[in-house]
Structure 1
Amino acid sequence: MNRSLAAFSLVFLNIPLSAWSGPYPERPIKMIVPFAAGASSDMLARTVADGLGSRLGQPVVVENRAGAGGNIGADAVAKAAPDGYTLGIGSIGTHATNSLIYASMPYDTVKDFAPVTLVASVSLVLVVHPSVSAKDVGELIAYLKKQPGKVSYASGGVGASQHLAGELFKYLAKVDMVHVPYKGSAGSVPDLISGRVPIMFADLPLVLPYIQNGALRALAVGDRERSPVLPAVPTVAESGLPDYQANAWYGMFTPAGTPGDIVARLHRETADILKQPEVRKRLIAQGANPDGMPPDAFRTFQRKEIDRWRTVVQAAKIKTD
């Protein structure tokens, strides 16, 4: 009798938690984006959410919860029930560099999340308002050195990818610019195209229409290779700063403790969505590079990003309360 009970207990303990609550999913799923609507993270989230909704048979509702460099939305994901009904889109800020920048964090960047997949990396493009005379990176560096500390550049917030890209540029080019953070990169666009803040390392999907209509001038892209969307625009590395590389990335996370079979299914479905020819074509045309890497590889990638940007954060003395 005791042996039978022990055997039953072992079987019981090895059944995934999700198996006892019925087939997943049984109700709508929430996907939290920690930035404002209109940003690259929002665009990618809605693309994935639409595809997941069709594949899972339940609506996936995108909820924008911006603030504190993305920490408010990311914290909501970290503290949600680990049942697969709350997903989050994370960024280089929320899941890598905010932990290096903020004096205190409401969550642990690594331990409080189960990684699902890297959704996409997004090219950052160095754009200037037409009022800036520089036509290339070399001319921009000369322009900035003539007026140190007098020219401003925009970003989506302290620690955001656009901020880090700007600080890396300052560090390598030995120039001084004034950082102007916004609540999400989309919020910077009106001031950028008006010339109030004339420079930005911007997410390519966000500013591509303004480059195409001449409202902004693209000087270089931050990736190691040129963008297929802007093949005539050189990289920063080939424009005189060979050690330069910066881009944005956005991945999907669930709260730590989410059953492995649910994480595996979310990864499988999301990766399949990102492989669809029409989805890939649309995202690439907007300046995003779809990915879909497995959870373990995404965790390794995340840890490497934390280590990679630590030097820049320390050199630039980026800190915030």
Structure 2
Amino acid sequence: MILRRLLLALAPLLLAAGTATAQSFPTKPITLIVPFPAGGPSDALARALAQGMAADLKQTVVVENIGGASGTIGLAKLVNAAPDGYTIGFGTIGTHVANAALFKKLPYDPLTGFEPIGLAGTAPLLLVAKAGLPVSNLKEFIAYAETNKAGMTYGSAGVGSISHYACVVLLSALKLNITHVPYRGVAPAMNDLMGGHIDFMCDQTTTALPQIAGGKIKALAVLSDQPLPQLPGVATAASQGYDVNLRSWNALFAPKGTPQPVIARLNEALRAAVADPALVKQMTAVGVDLPSPDALQPATVTTLIARGLEKDVPALKARGEYLD
């Protein structure tokens, strides 16, 4: 009884403290950890969002690139940061889904180890091939691979990257086993694809569309559920008879225990950033979809992680590729 009276007495004070936190936050610059090297597609989106959020928050948002170990080094720093909203981080389908299968032990729990702030953007994934591969769609690719798979290779931005994750899920669905060649980033992998040194990749539109437009590689299928206006005539995998629906996603996270009023203020700034018409135009040109207002709820991110852990992690684990 005494405890109950004490809690009732404290409730208004706690509510007032939370309101004060929301009203005063932020009072100093915020650090945004991007767990990848500078220059990649996630980094480009993170920097654009940091600029937009800074304008709304009226404080500088400093991007800190902490690459290595498929994003786990940067996120390990985030998970151990003070839960005050002044250190936030970028996560992806790679860091929060693929890594759950590719690392025997992670320094963070992808589902419960952070406070989601909101979805930052999604991008379709494509099956792209070197210009000289004698196929033009997914069915022809499968027929060719069934005959020539012993000599074929596919590239990625590294084990645990989104490009690796997508190809593992695709090849598992197609029941194909093809040699993986990991690179240190998307750029060298794409260079070797354009040079004909590897046969195919599963890449985001962000980096693939310019090379497709230039005729340096060719698109065989859209791996997401909707065709792309930028690629008329390139069918989705689903429309070609295969149950594959893959989109990369990026989201913002805060350390576990960050006060909900602070999360709400950061979410408000994220909403302001993704509503900027200039950013929408910039991202649309490279096939990135910024989230709708409904999708900006933190719960959307939790759902994406849970779905990926349940559906895709078993396929990744079945490949037996581990990073530690």
The two structures have a TM-score, normalised by structure 2, of: 0.90
Structure 2 unmatched ranges of 5 or more:
none
State the partner residue of 2:259.
259
Question: In the alignment, is the contact (CA less than 8 A) between 2:221 and 2:235 conserved in 1?
Answer: yes
How far apart are residue 235 of structure 1 and its match? 0.9
The equivalences for 1:38-49 within 5 A come to 38-49=39-50
State the partner residue of 1:81.
82
State the partner residue of 2:182.
181
Q: Return the alpha-carbon distance in structure 2 between the equivalents of residues 30 and 11 of structure 1.
A: 32
**Residue identity in the other structure for 1:307:** E
User: Mean Cα displacement is larger for which, 179-188 or 219-228?
Assistant: 179-188
State the partner residue of 2:148.
147
Q: Return the alpha-carbon distance in structure 2 between the equivalents of residues 132 and 270 of structure 1.
A: 42
Q: Return the alpha-carbon distance in structure 2 between the equivalents of residues 9 and 184 of structure 1.
A: 52
**Residue identity in the other structure for 1:51:** G
Deviations 1:200-249 (A, max 9, x none): 011111121111111111111110111122232111222342x1111211
The equivalences for 1:102-251 within 5 A come to 102-241=103-242, 243-251=243-251
The answer to whether 1:306 aligns with 2:296 is no
Tell me the percent identity: 34
How far apart are residue 161 of structure 1 and its match? 2.5
User: Mean Cα displacement is larger for which, 7-16 or 203-212?
Assistant: 7-16
Q: Return the alpha-carbon distance in structure 2 between the equivalents of residues 320 and 255 of structure 1.
A: 24
Question: In the alignment, is the contact (CA less than 8 A) between 1:137 and 1:240 conserved in 2?
Answer: no
State the partner residue of 2:285.
285
Deviations 1:157-216 (A, max 9, x none): 223332222122222323221112233334422222222223101111112111111111
How far apart are residue 97 of structure 1 and its match? 2.6
SS in 1 for 2:28: coil
Deviations 1:277-316 (A, max 9, x none): 3322221221111115211232122212211212312333
C-alpha change, 1:277 and 1:36, in structure 2 (3 Å) is same
Q: Return the alpha-carbon distance in structure 2 between the equivalents of residues 117 and 183 of structure 1.
A: 28
State the partner residue of 2:318.
315
How far apart are residue 96 of structure 1 and its match? 2.0
Q: Return the alpha-carbon distance in structure 1 between the equivalents of residues 96 and 150 of structure 2.
A: 30
User: Mean Cα displacement is larger for which, 21-30 or 291-300?
Assistant: 21-30
Question: In the alignment, is the contact (CA less than 8 A) between 1:35 and 1:184 conserved in 2?
Answer: no
Q: Return the alpha-carbon distance in structure 1 between the equivalents of residues 76 and 24 of structure 2.
A: 27
State the partner residue of 1:65.
66
Q: How many residues align?
A: 318
The two structures have a TM-score, normalised by structure 1, of: 0.91
C-alpha change, 1:16 and 1:190, in structure 2 (3 Å) is farther
Q: Return the alpha-carbon distance in structure 1 between the equivalents of residues 164 and 220 of structure 2.
A: 17
Q: Return the alpha-carbon distance in structure 2 between the equivalents of residues 271 and 59 of structure 1.
A: 17
Question: In the alignment, is the contact (CA less than 8 A) between 1:67 and 1:183 conserved in 2?
Answer: no
Structure 1 unmatched ranges of 5 or more:
none
Question: In the alignment, is the contact (CA less than 8 A) between 2:153 and 2:198 conserved in 1?
Answer: yes
Q: Return the alpha-carbon distance in structure 2 between the equivalents of residues 41 and 60 of structure 1.
A: 16
How far apart are residue 15 of structure 1 and its match? 4.0
How far apart are residue 272 of structure 1 and its match? 2.7
How far apart are residue 11 of structure 1 and its match? 4.0
User: Mean Cα displacement is larger for which, 170-179 or 112-121?
Assistant: 170-179
C-alpha change, 1:169 and 1:96, in structure 2 (3 Å) is closer
**Residue identity in the other structure for 1:272:** A
SS in 2 for 1:288: coil
Deviations 1:89-123 (A, max 9, x none): 10112112312221111112122210011111111
Deviations 1:69-91 (A, max 9, x none): 11111111111111111111101
SS in 2 for 1:146: helix
SS in 2 for 1:149: helix
